Amino acid sequence: MPASRPLVLLAALLLAGGCRKPEVTAYEVPSEKDPDLGLAPASANNTNAGTETPATAAPAGAPMAGAGMANTAVPVAEGPGLVWTAPAAWQSKPASAMRKATYAVPGPGGAEGDLSITAFPSDVGGELANVNRWRGQVQLKPVDAAGLDGVVTRWSQSGLSLTAVDFTAPNGSQRMLGAIVPYNGGTWFFKLSGPAAAVGSARADFTAFLHTIRPAQP
């Protein structure tokens, strides 16, 4: 078709002009200090792979691009996720990286528990590793596979299998209520932690809350 000839020529011309080639650049800037991320103790103490991850490593001191602002993509978030119903007294806070939701759970005397809901690809090392990681966070000794059933409560609802824990630090100051829910090839974590008084007073609410967890599309 004769009319198509100019069109093809123009398309080729536009296409050739539109390609931008990425190039290596070199420049000089005033010397910069690296941000202090509080990683030093972690790097000294965690040279071996193990179940104890450096939970004490503080969140980034100087957030850079995207940190805490954009959500990190995880595949479980791509498909239909889990939904739940939270008590009205719990104050929802903005979700941040990895966190699907965050709630401030009020307790007696102004004390506050922090409830985080996160979704993570894969089985995240397996149930035993996860339970022991949580135990480590409240200074409890790890349990072995045989002892696992003694420290968790399991039940099923809405086609989901929940594994719940209730750990209190040996000195009684901190407490953690948690549930691990495998779903859609990933793992969801529901963790309420904070001062023992605040977490303890919210125990009944938390258990009721766990029973509301269900897939978004059954």
- Please list every residue from 53 through 112 that binds other proteins, using CB under 8 A: 53-55, 57, 59-60, 62-75, 78, 91, 96-98
- Min. distance of Cβ 26 from other proteins in angstroms? 5
Per rule CB under 8 A, count of chain residues that contact other proteins = 75
Amino acid at 128: L
Compute the distance between CA of residue 43 and CA of residue 99 in angstroms, rounded to an integer: 25
The answer to whether 8 contacts other proteins (rule: CB under 8 A) is no
The answer to whether 145 contacts other proteins (rule: CB under 8 A) is no
Nearest to 162 by CA among 138, 197, 192, 127: 127
Amino acid at 31: S
The answer to whether 25 contacts other proteins (rule: CB under 8 A) is yes
CB closer to other proteins out of 98 and 160: 98
Length of the chain counted residue by residue: 218
DSSP-derived 3-state class of residue 123: coil
Rg (CA), the chain: 24
The answer to whether 187 contacts other proteins (rule: CB under 8 A) is yes
Residue from 122, 158, 173, 212 binding other proteins (CB under 8 A): 122
DSSP tag of 34: P
The answer to whether 165 contacts other proteins (rule: CB under 8 A) is no
The answer to whether 2 contacts other proteins (rule: CB under 8 A) is yes
